[in-house]
């Protein structure tokens, strides 16, 4: 970290700051300027940084304390410059193959989930999505079928040789959901549920952290840091749109987050154009754009009868739409050196 002394700080004040840093056991690298002195403190461990920064900032002769390193270590690109590939029981997320995750927003019935899954599988999806625990703004709207839905997902995925991604909302359910799911989805509303993140760090099941609809990229990466620090290295991120003043689309899908996260982090990034736009008519264009900017996967809602869907019908593709979309995406993937 770097300590910027106030303009005209005295010799004694500068020495006081240097002594404090040395007493904590860290190295001191001062640059004495004509008007202003700057002191570099090296070797301060991440866990102590915030406390020491605040303590120095409280001194009247310190103007500012700056952290040099980013507030996440395990999520940072420097740790794995080559990038991370998450192995979901043989389906890779982060390699040259773009992972297709598709299925209904919500598991409603066995038949509806099967019909969606069969079409998604036939078109090339390898990961079946479907909500069993649904985060709902209204306590009166459908909350999901819970464990019964997880059983349906598992049975259908096994039958079709697919993997399962599904949301877990409650830290107490992490172990139970792991018995059925191959990827734990942490939803946008839970991105800063630290108990849930810590619990997801205790297992080895891959975790996909959706970006909080209000979250800065740095906060999102810090959420990933919780899971990584807990000992689960199998983390991927998912951009699903953020809240802005725009209301024509359900959210504003921030595609710049893909190359931005890739500069900052080694973690794979998935795009969810369904929650991202809220409109079926926009999903294909955003999928193409996502592939072009380097997304490692797509999470797409597909329903056999969107007009009958209990949730998110307007943004769900029909099973026929999905097949056509995948075919039209292939040349885009090839153009950027990837496959679907
Ligand atoms: C979903 O994937 O259906 C979902 C609820 O996602 P989000 O957490 O991004 O709203
Ligand atoms: Mn949905």
**How does pLDDT run across 119-137, given as a tens digit for each residue?**
999 999 999 999 999 998 8
Q: Quick one: 103 and 35 in the same domain?
A: no
Q: Is residue 74 part of a domain?
A: no
Where does a domain end: 17, 36, 66? 66
Given ligand 1 and candidates 132, 210, 214, 242, which is best to mutate, with the most ligand atoms within 8 Å of its CB? 210
* Measured distance CA(31)–CA(43) in Å, rounded: 17
- At 71 the pLDDT is 84
Q: Quick one: 49 and 96 in the same domain?
A: no
Q: Which residues make Cβ contacts (< 8 Å) with residue 225, sequence separation at least 6? A: 71, 72, 73, 74, 75
Q: Quick one: 43 and 101 in the same domain?
A: no
* Helices then strands, each counted (H, E), the chain: 11, 14
Q: In this predicted model, what pLDDT tens digit does every residue of 249-280 receive, in sequence order?
A: 999 999 999 999 999 999 999 999 999 999 99
* Measured distance CA(325)–CA(191) in Å, rounded: 30
Q: Which residues pair with 242 in a beta bridge?
A: 252
Alpha carbon 284 to its chain's center: 21
- At 2 the pLDDT is 87
Domain boundaries, position 17: 2-66
Q: Quick one: 271 and 155 in the same domain?
A: yes
Q: Quick one: 34 and 130 in the same domain?
A: no
**Closest ligand 1 atom to the C-alpha of 241?**
9
* Measured distance CA(108)–CA(310) in Å, rounded: 7
- At 240 the pLDDT is 98
Q: Is residue 197 part of a domain?
A: yes
Average pLDDT, the chain: 96
Q: Is residue 25 part of a domain?
A: yes
- At 100 the pLDDT is 98
Alpha carbon distance, N-terminus to C-terminus of the chain: 44
Q: Is residue 275 part of a domain?
A: yes
Sign of CA pseudo-dihedral 194, 198, 203, 206: positive
Which residue is closest in CA terms to ligand 1's atom 2? 105
> What's the domain count of the chain?
2
Q: Quick one: 55 and 111 in the same domain?
A: no
Any ligand 1 atom below 6 A from CB of 276: no
Is residue 5's pLDDT more than 90? yes
Any ligand 1 atom below 6 A from CB of 275: yes
Q: Is residue 73 part of a domain?
A: no
Give the pTM. 0.89
* Measured distance CA(251)–CA(278) in Å, rounded: 7
Q: Quick one: 160 and 293 in the same domain?
A: yes
Burial status of residue 254 (CB atoms within 10 A of its CB: 0-12, 13-18, 19 or more): middle
Which residue is closest in CA terms to ligand 1's atom 4? 187
Determine contact, residues 213/276, Cβ cutoff 8 Å: no
Is residue 146's pLDDT more than 90? yes
- At 201 the pLDDT is 98
Any ligand 1 atom below 6 A from CB of 212: no
Q: In this predicted model, what pLDDT tens digit does every residue of 281-292 receive, in sequence order?
A: 999 999 999 999
Q: Is residue 299 part of a domain?
A: yes
Per-residue pLDDT, averaged over 17-43, amounts to 90
* Structure token digits, residue 101: 């995750």
**Which CATH number is 221's domain given?**
3.20.20.70
Q: Residue 63: enclosing H or E segment and its boundaries?
A: strand 62-66
Q: Quick one: 21 and 105 in the same domain?
A: no
* Measured distance CA(103)–CA(327) in Å, rounded: 17
Confidence bin at 114 (pLDDT 50/70/90): very high
* Measured distance CA(201)–CA(273) in Å, rounded: 27
Q: Name the residue among 158, 125, 131, 164 with its Cα closest to residue 323.
A: 125
Q: Quick one: 257 and 218 in the same domain?
A: yes
Q: What SS3 string covers 81-137?
A: CCCCCEEECCEEECCCECEEEEECCECCCHHHHHHHHHHHHHHCCCEEECECCCCCC
How far away, in angstroms, is 311 Cα from ligand 2 center? 7
pLDDT, greater one: 154 or 47 = 154
**Which CATH number is 7's domain given?**
3.30.70.1140
* Structure token digits, residue 67: 């952290």
Q: In this predicted model, what pLDDT tens digit does every residue of 187-216 receive, in sequence order?
A: 999 999 999 999 999 999 999 999 999 999
Confidence bin at 218 (pLDDT 50/70/90): very high
> Other C-beta atoms within 10 Å of 43: how many?
9
Which residue is closest in CA terms to ligand 1's atom 8? 187
How far away, in angstroms, is 188 Cα from ligand 2 center? 11
What are the φ/ψ torsions at residue 207 (nearest 5 degrees)?
A: -125, 135
DSSP 3-state of 327: helix
Q: In this predicted model, what pLDDT tens digit does every residue of 54-89 receive, in sequence order?
A: 999 999 999 999 887 788 989 999 889 999 999 999
- At 137 the pLDDT is 86
Is residue 22's pLDDT more than 90? yes
Q: Quick one: 46 and 194 in the same domain?
A: no
**Closest ligand 1 atom to the C-alpha of 238?**
9
Q: Name the residue among 128, 166, 127, 126 with its Cα closest to residue 147.
A: 166
Given ligand 1 and candidates 167, 237, 273, which is best to mutate, with the most ligand atoms within 8 Å of its CB? 167
Q: Is residue 77 part of a domain?
A: no
Q: Name the residue among 301, 299, 293, 285 with its Cα closest to residue 338.
A: 293
> Other C-beta atoms within 10 Å of 78: how many?
11
Q: In this predicted model, what pLDDT tens digit does every residue of 297-313 receive, in sequence order?
A: 999 999 999 999 999 99
* Measured distance CA(189)–CA(193) in Å, rounded: 8
How far away, in angstroms, is 274 Cα from ligand 1 center? 9
Q: Quick one: 100 and 60 in the same domain?
A: no
Q: Quick one: 57 and 92 in the same domain?
A: no
Is residue 186's pLDDT more than 80? yes
DSSP 3-state of 235: strand
- At 48 the pLDDT is 84
Q: Is residue 248 part of a domain?
A: yes
Q: Name the residue among 280, 276, 291 with its Cα closest to residue 241.
A: 276
Determine contact, residues 217/257, Cβ cutoff 8 Å: yes
């Amino acid at each position: 970290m770097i300590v910027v002394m106030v303009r005209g700080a005295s010799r004694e004040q500068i020495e006081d700051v240097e002594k404090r840093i040395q007493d904590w056991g860290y190295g001191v690298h001062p640059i004495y300027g004509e008007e202003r002195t700057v002191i570099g403190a090296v070797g301060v461990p991440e866990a102590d940084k915030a406390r020491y920064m605040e303590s120095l900032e409280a001194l009247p002769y310190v103007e500012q304390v700056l952290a040099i390193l980013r507030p996440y270590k395990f999520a940072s690109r420097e740790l794995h410059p080559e990038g991370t590939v998450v192995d979901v029981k043989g389906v890779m997320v982060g390699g040259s193959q773009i992972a297709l995750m598709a299925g209904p927003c919500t598991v409603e019935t066995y038949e509806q989930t099967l019909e969606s899954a069969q079409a998604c599988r036939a078109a090339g999806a390898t990961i079946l999505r479907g909500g069993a625990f649904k985060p709902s703004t209204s306590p009166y709207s459908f909350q999901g079928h819970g464990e019964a839905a997880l059983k349906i997902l598992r049975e259908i995925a096994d039958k079709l040789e697919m993997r399962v991604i599904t949301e877990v909302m409650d830290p107490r359910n992490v172990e139970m959901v792991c018995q059925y799911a191959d990827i734990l989805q942490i939803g946008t509303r839970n991105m800063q549920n630290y108990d849930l993140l810590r619990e997801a760090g205790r297992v080895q099941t891959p975790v996909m952290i959706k970006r909080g609809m209000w979250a800065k990229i740095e906060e999102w990466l810090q959420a990933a840091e919780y899971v990584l620090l807990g000992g689960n290295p199998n983390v991927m991120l998912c951009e699903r749109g953020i809240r802005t003043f725009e209301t024509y689309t359900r959210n504003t899908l921030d595609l710049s987050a893909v190359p931005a996260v890739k500069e900052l982090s080694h973690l794979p990034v998935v795009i969810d154009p369904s929650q991202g736009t809220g409109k079926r008519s926009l999903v294909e264009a955003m999928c193409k754009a996502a592939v072009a900017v380097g997304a490692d996967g797509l999470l797409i809602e597909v329903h056999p009868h969107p007009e009958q869907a209990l949730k998110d019908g307007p943004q769900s593709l029909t099973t026929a739409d999905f097949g056509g979309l995948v075919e039209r995406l292939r040349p885009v993937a090839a153009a950027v050196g990837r496959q679907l």
